Structure 1
Amino acid sequence: MIVPAGSVDRIAAALHANGLVLRGGFNFAPGDAPPTGSSGAPAAAVLLVGQAGAAPWPHFLRWREKQPRSIANPLDTWSREVIGAVADTFGARAVSPSDRPYLPFQQWAMRAEGLKPSPLGILMHPQYGLWHAYRGALLFGYELPVQAAEPAPHLCDTCVEKPCLKSCPVDAYSPQEFVYPSCLAHVRGANGEPCRTGGCLDRNACPYGADYRYPPEVQAFHMAAFAVL
């Protein structure tokens, strides 16, 4: 079964109503071993759901005002609710990057949008830079009129200065690895205020996608979640 192209457009419109973006998708190939769809049979197609810039933030805040302040992982919970409602409407199975066992979201995203990782590990987008995210995916039991993207221009290949590797006070990022303990200790420590309130200094040093840069309050929210502040 192949769903009409208009259905994909309606899915995109339903996500857009909450500030989310349809981030491409593809039909699984015979050798892919996909996860199950809503029927319990292997999925035939996947659509990636995410954000560009901080567009979902006002929608999330309105939802959060009505929730208990003690709610755990509020952004994940909101994303699951929104994407889950769209999945129910269109007969899909909604999955999240935090689901266990983990699904290969980064590989799916690279395939769907033709992206490559930046030195920080975040996928570099030719328009959004590092200021985007994937909030979930929709798995379908039938094929969709979508296909994997051709490789996008990788801006990191032409970036000579690599400021994203030179701004961290504790050199947590390098071409070889991310030193998580050093980053976490700094963010939680006495000298970590700039990171806690304004976000990762390495990420902010990237010159690409500046129009989509998350506002400081959004970056502070994510940093607090990262450091469990």
Structure 2
Amino acid sequence: MPNLPEAAFLNHAGLNRQHVFNLAELPADLVAPLAPAAHERQLILFGHAGRRLWECVQAEGIRTEHPIDEYSVRTVEAWLAQALPAARARFVFPQSLGSRHIGLQRLGTIAGWHRASPFMVGIDSVWGSWFAYRVAILTDTDLPASQPVDNGYPCTSCATKPCITACPAGALAGGSFNLAACNAGRLAAESDCALGCTARSACPVGAEHRYEESQICHSAAGSLATIRRYQENLHKIA
């Protein structure tokens, strides 16, 4: 965990994963789409792990289409005003802001947060898959760069692989993730995974940090709507 000023504020607000990158030390093809200005020297990535963030979002009330994004942005804005009032910062994620493409999973891999699970969600041995990327900003700061964390990778030592057998669509049965099968399974009538991934829920790692059902359903409803729009567009093209 980086030694960010006022990190306790972020942790209490649920953004309990933070990582500071020096742009000059990141792969050029990862930085280029962000089109950093000359004064932008660092990227700070904020994530959440466990249930605390959703508890905070619910306490404010769910009144908009993107309550998690909006809460997270407001929290980082408040943190910047409190901890780094002189800093210039530009939000490059979340995408609900209309931001540029950003390679979150690659950044997470560099930070040590992201190792792919069979069900294609990042995982580690502490939090399991119950974490997510929430905000990324480019800044003119000169904070100490964070060191990668290593919470361990549980999948290589998992003998039973319950996530594979739990998927009703068989999307993990072939030894690699089958996106088409996953999408078809979620769109099926009376699907068991329309509003929550049964493979993800079957994974025992980090089970104590598992999201509340309301958060699982909220996030899954958003991705399900995206899948439906994609399929509708395919039919129009055909």
- Range class of TM-score, shorter chain: 0.7 to 0.9
CA distance in 2, matches of 1:215, 1:30: 37
Structure 1: runs of 5+ lacking an equivalent: none
CA distance in 1, matches of 2:25, 2:68: 34
Query: Pairwise mapping of residues 75-224 of structure 1 onto structure 2 (< 5 A)?
Result: 75-89=68-82, 90=84, 91=87, 92-98=89-95, 99-113=98-112, 115-149=114-148, 151-173=150-172, 174-180=174-180, 182-192=181-191, 194-196=192-194, 199-224=196-221
CA distance in 2, matches of 1:152, 1:145: 21
> Matched residues, percent identical?
28
Q: Which has the higher helix share?
A: 2
Q: In 2 relative to 1, CA 187–121 (structure 1 residues): closer, same or farther, beyond 3 Å?
A: closer
Shift, 1:95, TM fit: 2.6
19, 23, 32: which one pairs with 2:27?
32
Structure 2: runs of 5+ lacking an equivalent: 229-238
TM-score by length of 1: 0.79
CA distance in 2, matches of 1:31, 1:149: 13
CA distance in 2, matches of 1:23, 1:126: 18
Q: Which residue of 2 aligns with 1:46?
A: 43
Q: In 2 relative to 1, CA 115–222 (structure 1 residues): closer, same or farther, beyond 3 Å?
A: closer
Q: State the 4+ residue runs in structure 1 displaced beyond 4 angstroms.
A: none
Report the residue type matching 1:84 in the other structure: E
Larger RCO of the pair (alpha carbons < 8 Å, separation 6+):
1
Report the residue type matching 1:214 in the other structure: Y
Q: How many residues align?
A: 214
CA distance in 1, matches of 2:221, 2:25: 42
| 1:169-226 alpha-carbon deviations (Å, 9 max, x no partner) | 111235433324x33343343331x3345x2110011110011011222211111111
- Given that 1:20 and 1:50 are in contact with CA atoms closer than 8 Å, whether structure 2 keeps it comes out as yes
CA distance in 2, matches of 1:195, 1:114: 25
